[in-house]
């Protein structure tokens, strides 16, 4: 779109419900996500009264249901964002995204990107062609928010949904069906009113465990991210639970690696079944334990966790409870360390801690290689 206004923004589409179309009777609400292009979304929003005071550049980064979001999609998004950050004419960025994993992308960008340009993410709880579609309204609100952020020279990552503004590092989807599906855990939801007071910057990302953060260049240089899993402590957990299964998989992977190294110095053998086993493909490097209450965990997990740590897995504990992390201290035995593993307690949510730990391990691995 061309205009006489000097402000320029980038609009990036990634798919999701906001770009979904009905696949049956619309009254039933059945739809397929990621069917409508970002250009069509923008044209539709113009029809409901969107009159932006800036010029935009639209780009379809990917077209997926966000439940299927992977590292490859994040890498594409980050690469596109890097281009726009380097362009002095681009003053703000708007991203349309599926709601299922919107909070994870919002945290990733909050944790990784510079804070000098505003980024606003939005999505929808109803498909593009649903009779009660909320996509155009959310998109219009996102444009209005981005315009004000640029006017007031505020950066950071924000999420706009259902007429509310959320800090990207704090937002969480709390309702599976309501149009008003998102809440802010620590900073509190702020109603998006043009007359309301806005903070001068994002709330500081509070965390007691010192995650290292790679540069955007470091992240973009990786074709694969460190494997980090999330497990939950819960009532009735079997001795070892899922942690024991991960331990057994890791031990198998290490044994396979040792076998490969031995076979490299010996004549080849026809039987390569062990080496081709899928368990040998991705070695676990980090684990986030979603604990109970203040970050405690079932004692039956203790021994397999210690064994994982001794094999070099970084273990981080957090709480499965959405609020109150600022008062959490974690398990009383968190001082205990394995021979190589590192253990700590994070005040981030489990999913956000997983992202932060994966990025941390990128830095740690790079430092060891130097």
Contacts 24+ apart (CB under 8 A), 132-136: 134/162, 134/179, 135/17, 135/18, 135/19, 135/41, 135/44, 136/41, 136/44, 136/45, 136/47, 136/48, 136/50
- Tell me, what's the pLDDT at 278? 44
- Tell me, what's the pLDDT at 29? 79
Residues of the chain with CATH 3.40.50.40: 216-259+278-369
Q: How far apart are CA 42 and CA 38, in angstroms?
A: 6
Looking at CATH, the fold of the domain delimited by 216-259+278-369 is given as: Rossmann fold (3.40.50)
Handedness of CA 125, 130, 12, 35 (dihedral sign): positive
Bridge partners of 167? 158
- Tell me, what's the pLDDT at 272? 43
Angle separating helix axes 350-369 and 102-112, nearest 10 degrees: 40
Domain 8-191 of CATH type 1.10.3720.10: no
Q: How far apart are CA 279 and CA 256, in angstroms?
A: 9
Residues of the chain with CATH 3.40.50.1170: 8-191
Residues in the chain with pLDDT values less than 50: 1-4, 202, 269-280, 338-339
DSSP 40-86: HHHHHHHHTT---SSEEEEEEEEEE-GGG--HHHHHHHHHHHHHHHH
Q: Report the run of H or E that residue 217 belongs to, with start and end.
A: helix 216-220
How far, rounded to the nearest angstrom, does the alpha carbon of residue 152 sit from its chain's CA centroid?
27
- Tell me, what's the pLDDT at 347? 87
């Amino acid at each position: 779109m061309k205009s006489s206004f000097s402000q320029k923004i980038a609009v990036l589409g990634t798919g999701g419900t906001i770009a979904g179309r009905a696949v049956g009777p619309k009254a039933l609400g059945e739809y397929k996500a990621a069917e409508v292009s970002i250009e069509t979304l923008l044209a539709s929003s113009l029809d409901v009264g969107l009159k932006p005071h800036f010029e935009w550049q639209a780009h379809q980064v990917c077209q997926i249901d966000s439940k299927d979001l992977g590292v490859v999609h994040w890498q594409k998004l980050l690469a596109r964002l890097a281009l726009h950050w380097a362009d002095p004419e681009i003053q703000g960025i708007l991203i349309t995204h599926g709601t299922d994993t919107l909070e994870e992308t919002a945290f990733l960008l909050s944790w990784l990107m510079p804070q000098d340009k505003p980024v606003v993410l939005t999505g929808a709880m109803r498909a593009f062609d649903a009779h009660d579609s909320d996509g155009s309204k959310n998109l219009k609100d996102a444009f209005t928010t981005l315009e004000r952020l640029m006017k007031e020279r505020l950066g950071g990552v924000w999420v706009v949904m259902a007429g509310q503004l959320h800090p990207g590092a704090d937002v969480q989807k709390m309702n599976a069906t309501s149009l008003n599906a998102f809440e802010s855990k620590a900073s509190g939801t702020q109603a998006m009113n043009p007359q309301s007071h806005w903070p001068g910057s994002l709330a500081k990302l509070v965390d007691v465990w010192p995650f290292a953060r790679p540069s955007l260049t470091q992240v973009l240089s990786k074709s694969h991210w460190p494997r980090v899993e999330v497990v939950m402590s819960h009532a009735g957990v079997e001795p070892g639970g899922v942690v024991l299964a991960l331990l057994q998989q890791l031990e198998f992977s290490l044994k396979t690696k040792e076998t490969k190294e031995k076979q490299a110095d010996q004549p080849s053998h026809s039987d390569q079944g062990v080496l081709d086993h899928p368990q040998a493909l991705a070695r676990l490097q980090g684990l986030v334990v979603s604990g109970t209450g203040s970050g405690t965990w079932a004692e039956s997990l203790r021994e397999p966790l210690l064994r994982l740590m001794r094999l070099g897995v970084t273990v981080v504990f957090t709480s499965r409870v959405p609020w109150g992390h600022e008062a959490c201290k974690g398990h009383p035995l968190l001082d205990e360390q394995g021979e190589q593993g590192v253990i700590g307690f994070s005040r981030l949510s489990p999913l956000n801690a997983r992202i932060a730990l994966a990025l941390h391990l990128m830095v740690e691995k790079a430092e060891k290689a130097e």
